[in-house]
């Protein structure tokens, strides 16, 4: 009896806790600090939202990495007094570059420096009297690509979190894609705008190797020869194609980007080309914070503060390039290109948005830019490959149908159990209800997201919960048929059925864990619900049902329970 009393109180306390955790889904508990506040969130397929697939430009990251590596190598060669003629980065997308030399002796010195200073990162592929071919190790390149994807996912997550989108699902797809699912259409629209404004920030010096007139003529000639213009292509596609076409004419380590005119509504309506140097090595990852302020005329502007490392780079850059222009480039668009009048040692800068146009529109743009920069700089540009929207009415209709199916199925199962197993079937029906309550309580305590596959997982929970009770009830019937009393039949029936129940639940758990580890989005939701259902089945339909049966026969002296 002492053991029964302990089990009874354990069951009661557990059910009270389940009620506490499930309550926030039905009543407002925010004012009660002691009450659990987490509740179940609804997934994209239930409350509506947006589904995006973004392509990550991993190749551009490799090109940037190689170009930055040439800057570092130049400093190393100068320090060791190794004369080199330059670098060839034509194969940068493959993680390779050539160091151009003038003698076999200098080539050997370059090879020795690489082997000494870059073990595990760079390898010398071949050496001649004219060049040293260098390539990143495959493992290093793979790690760089994976880091790029991971950093992009975390950056996107940070940005979406700032906009308060509940339970976003952001996962990698393949080698260069990111799947983003954002429940809640209103918030998703803001998040989509923020994602598409990728806010890849760079500080680039304006090159004077070509005059503005020369740059404009080269652009016009390239457009005429290729039969395209900024109006006929997406801006990112236009920039890529233009710079590819001008590569042979442009100085090394330079690129052409555009600034939108202050009075122009679109880039193609009025833009100014800039020839920019790409080797300044100062980008958004050097930022500490960004915010919105107002200039002396009351126009919004974005203020930037660099971290200590970035502040040092910024101070160096401004000190060495006084009286030159430095462009602030956001997603390959020149936002401003002020003159560097003096060294800026405090690591603070401002992005001006101009003083024309609608004030509220400028304020919204300043907020969007500062939010994006504050959330972190993407390591690579993104391209939207797919978009699907689920309206809230469609999600509600799907939820209503799924709920109706689950309720009807559960009621039919309970009716069958009561008709076929009578008294023990009634106990099974009661514990089945407690089982579903416990599943919701676990999901609520985790703040989990409920999807339509998750509801399917709950329906499956009802199935294998009843299966456990069928095993138990049939075992009890066998014991009663042998002439055992009700107390002994219940005891032996539960004991003999446990091995089969545990085996079936362990194998189902193994499948659910695999789905949880390898699955994404709704598949993971199904796996979480399934695992929660397995735990609650053992608790409610095995433990609690035995507590009820034992109390009936031991505490209330019921002599017979029909099975």
The confidence score (pLDDT) of residue 158 equals 62
Least confident of 144-148, 468-472, 544-548: 144-148
| pLDDT for the residue 525 | 78
Higher pLDDT among residues 403 and 128, named by residue: 128
pLDDT class for 385, splitting at 50, 70, 90?
Answer: confident
pLDDT score recorded for residue 258: 92
- 559 has pLDDT over 90: no
Q: What is the pLDDT of residue 186?
A: 55
Q: Looking at the domain assignment, is residue 516 inside a domain?
A: yes
Are 257 and 274 a contacting pair, CB within 8 Å?
A: yes
Q: Is residue 484 part of a domain?
A: yes
Per the structure, the count of domains in the chain is: 3
* Residues 505 and 530 occupy one common structural domain: yes
pLDDT at 250: 92
Specify whether 305 is located in the same domain as 342.
yes
Residues 6+ apart with CB under 8 A from 326: 203, 204, 205, 206, 317, 318, 337, 338, 340
Q: With pLDDT > 90 as the criterion, what percentage of the chain qualifies? A: 23
Given a cut of 80, whether residue 375 has pLDDT beyond it is: no
Q: Which pLDDT does position 153 carry in this prediction?
A: 81
Average pLDDT over residues 425-452: 86
Same domain, 218 and 286: yes
**φ and ψ of 401, to 5 deg:** -70, -40
| Mean pLDDT for the chain overall | 83
Confidence of residue 315 (pLDDT cuts 50, 70, 90): confident
User: Per-residue pLDDT for 265 more than 70?
Assistant: no
Supply the pLDDT for residue 448.
74
Is residue 436 situated within a structural domain? yes
CA distance 373 to 378: 9
pLDDT at 357: 60
Q: Given a cut of 90, is residue 51 above it in pLDDT?
A: no
Looking at mean pLDDT, say which of 101-105, 446-450, 479-483 comes out highest. Answer: 101-105
222, pLDDT greater than 90: yes
Looking at per-residue confidence, does 257 or 383 come out higher?
257
In this structure, of 91-105, 390-404, 509-523, 538-552, the range with the lowest mean pLDDT score is 390-404
**Which domain-ending residue is among 338, 359, 388?**
388
Residue 146 maps to a domain: no
**Of 388, 411, 438, the domain-final residue:** 388
Q: Give the per-residue pLDDT at 524.
A: 79
Q: Is residue 563 part of a domain?
A: no
Q: Do both 273 and 299 map to the same domain?
A: yes
Give pLDDT tens digits for 35-48. Answer: 776 777 777 777 77
Name the pLDDT band for 273 (thresholds 50, 70, 90). Answer: very high
Q: In the structure, what pLDDT confidence band is assigned to residue 197 with cuts at 50, 70 and 90?
A: low
Asked whether residue 186 is assigned to any structural domain, the reply reads: no
- Asked if 329 and 467 sit in the same domain, the reply is no
Of all residues in the chain, the percent with pLDDT exceeding 70 is 89
Question: Do 538 and 447 reside in the same domain of the chain?
Answer: yes
Are the beta carbons of 461 and 530 closer than 8 angstroms? yes
What is the three-class DSSP state of 31? coil
Q: Of 141, 170, 189, which residue constitutes the final position of a domain?
A: 141
Q: How far apart are CA 177 and CA 145, in angstroms?
A: 12
Q: What are the DSSP calls for 175-211, one per residue? A: TTEEEEEEESHHHHHHHHHHHHS---EEEEEBP-SS-
* CA atoms 274, 290, 238, 148: torsion sign: positive
Which of 394-408, 474-488, 536-550 bottoms out in mean pLDDT, i.e. has the lowest? 394-408
For position 284, which CATH number holds?
A: 3.30.1360.200
Q: Which two tokens stand for residue 217?
A: 């003529």
Residues with Cβ within 8 Å of residue 265, at least 6 apart in sequence: none
Band of residue 61 on the pLDDT scale cut at 50, 70, 90: confident
Q: Is the pLDDT of residue 312 over 60?
A: yes
Task: Assess whether 125 and 247 both reside in one domain.
Answer: no
Q: Other C-beta atoms within 10 Å of 110: how many?
A: 25
Q: pTM of the full predicted structure? A: 0.54
Q: Is residue 174, in this structure, part of any structural domain at all?
A: no
Please count the CA atoms within 13 angstroms of the CA of 544 that sit on its side-chain side: 23
Q: Tell whether 290 is covered by a domain.
A: yes
pLDDT band at 244 (very low <50, low <70, confident <90, very high): very high
Considering the domain architecture, whether residues 252 and 207 belong to the same structural domain is answered as yes
Residues 99 and 207 in one domain: no
Q: How far is CA 80 from the centre of its chain?
A: 44
Q: Which residue has the higher pLDDT, 306 or 37?
A: 306
CA dihedral 544, 548, 553, 554 (to 10 degrees): 70
Same domain? For 422 and 550 the reply is yes
How high is the pLDDT of residue 30? Answer: 65
**Least confident interval from 204-218, 391-405, 409-423, 456-470:** 391-405
Q: Give the model's confidence band at 187: pLDDT under 50 very low, under 70 low, under 90 confident, else very high.
A: low
Q: What is the pLDDT of residue 395?
A: 63
Q: Does one domain contain both 212 and 358?
A: yes
pLDDT at residue 151 is higher than 80: no
Whole-number pLDDT of residue 191: 64
| Shared-domain flag, residues 397 and 384 | no
Cα(271)–Cα(522) distance, integer angstroms: 45
pLDDT greater than 60 at residue 188:
no
Beta strands in 62-184 (DSSP E): 86-88, 96-100, 122-127, 131-136, 169-173, 177-183
Query: For residue 182, what pLDDT is reported?
Result: 77
Model confidence at 142, in pLDDT bands (50, 70, 90)? confident
Domain that holds residue 134: 58-141
Check residue 128 and give its pLDDT.
92
> Residues 507-534: pLDDT tens digits?
989 998 998 888 766 787 788 888 999 9
Give the tokens for residue 187: 């918030």
Which has more pLDDT, 377 or 278?
278
């Amino acid at each position: 009896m002492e053991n029964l009393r302990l089990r009874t109180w354990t069951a009661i306390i557990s059910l009270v806790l389940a009620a506490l955790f499930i309550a926030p889904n039905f009543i407002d508990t925010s004012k009660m600090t002691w009450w659990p506040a987490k509740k179940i969130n609804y997934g994209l397929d239930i409350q509506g939202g947006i589904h995006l697939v973004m392509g990550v430009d991993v190749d551009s990251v490799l090109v940037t990495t190689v170009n930055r590596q040439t800057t570092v190598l130049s400093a190393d060669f100068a320090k060791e007094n190794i004369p080199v003629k330059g670098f060839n980065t034509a194969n940068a997308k493959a993680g390779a570059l050539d160091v151009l030399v003038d003698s076999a002796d200098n080539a050997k010195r370059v090879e020795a420096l690489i082997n000494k200073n870059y073990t595990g990162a760079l390898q010398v592929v071949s050496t001649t009297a004219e060049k040293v071919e260098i390539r990143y190790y495959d493992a290093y390149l793979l790690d760089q690509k994976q880091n790029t994807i991971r950093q992009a996912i975390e950056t996107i997550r940070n940005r979406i979190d700032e906009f308060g989108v509940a339970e976003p699902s952001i996962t990698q797809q393949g080698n260069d894609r990111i799947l983003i699912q954002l429940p809640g259409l209103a918030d998703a629209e803001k998040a989509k705008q923020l994602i598409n404004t990728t806010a890849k920030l760079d500080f680039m010096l304006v090159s004077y190797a070509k005059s503005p007139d020369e740059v404009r003529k080269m652009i016009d000639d390239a457009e005429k020869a290729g039969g395209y213009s900024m109006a006929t292509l997406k801006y990112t596609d236009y920039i890529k194609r233009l710079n590819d076409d001008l590569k042979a004419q442009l100085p090394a380590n330079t690129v052409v980007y555009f600034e939108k005119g202050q009075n122009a509504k679109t880039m193609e309506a009025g833009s100014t080309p800039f020839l920019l140097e790409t080797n300044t090595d100062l980008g958004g990852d050097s930022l500490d914070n960004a915010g919105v302020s107002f200039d002396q005329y009351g126009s919004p502007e974005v203020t930037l503060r660099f971290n200590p490392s970035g502040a040092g780079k910024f101070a160096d850059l401004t000190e060495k390039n006084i009286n030159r222009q430095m462009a602030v480039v956001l997603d390959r668009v020149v936002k401003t290109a002020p003159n560097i009048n003096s060294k800026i040692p405090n690591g603070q800068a401002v992005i001006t948005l101009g003083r024309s146009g609608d004030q509220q529109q400028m304020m919204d743009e300043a907020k969007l830019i500062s939010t994006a920069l504050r959330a972190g700089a993407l390591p690579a540009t993104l391209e939207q490959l797919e978009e699907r929207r689920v309206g809230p009415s469609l999600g509600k209709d799907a939820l209503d149908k799924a709920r109706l199916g689950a309720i009807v199925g559960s009621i039919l199962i309970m009716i069958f159990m009561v008709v076929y197993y009578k008294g023990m079937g009634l106990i099974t029906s009661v514990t089945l209800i407690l089982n579903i309550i416990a599943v919701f309580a676990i999901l609520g305590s985790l703040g989990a997201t409920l999807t339509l596959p998750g509801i399917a997982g709950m329906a499956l929970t009802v199935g294998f919960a009843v299966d456990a009770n069928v095993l138990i009830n049939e075992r009890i019937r066998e014991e009663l048929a042998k002439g055992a009393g009700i107390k002994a039949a219940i005891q032996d029936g539960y004991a003999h059925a446990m091995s089969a129940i545990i085996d079936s639940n362990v194998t189902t758990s193994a499948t659910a864990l695999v789905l949880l580890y390898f699955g994404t989005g709704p598949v993971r939701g199904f796996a979480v619900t399934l695992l929660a259902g397995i735990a609650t089945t053992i608790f409610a339909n095995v433990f609690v049902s035995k507590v009820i049966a034992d109390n009936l026969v031991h505490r209330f002296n019921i002599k017979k329970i029909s099975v």
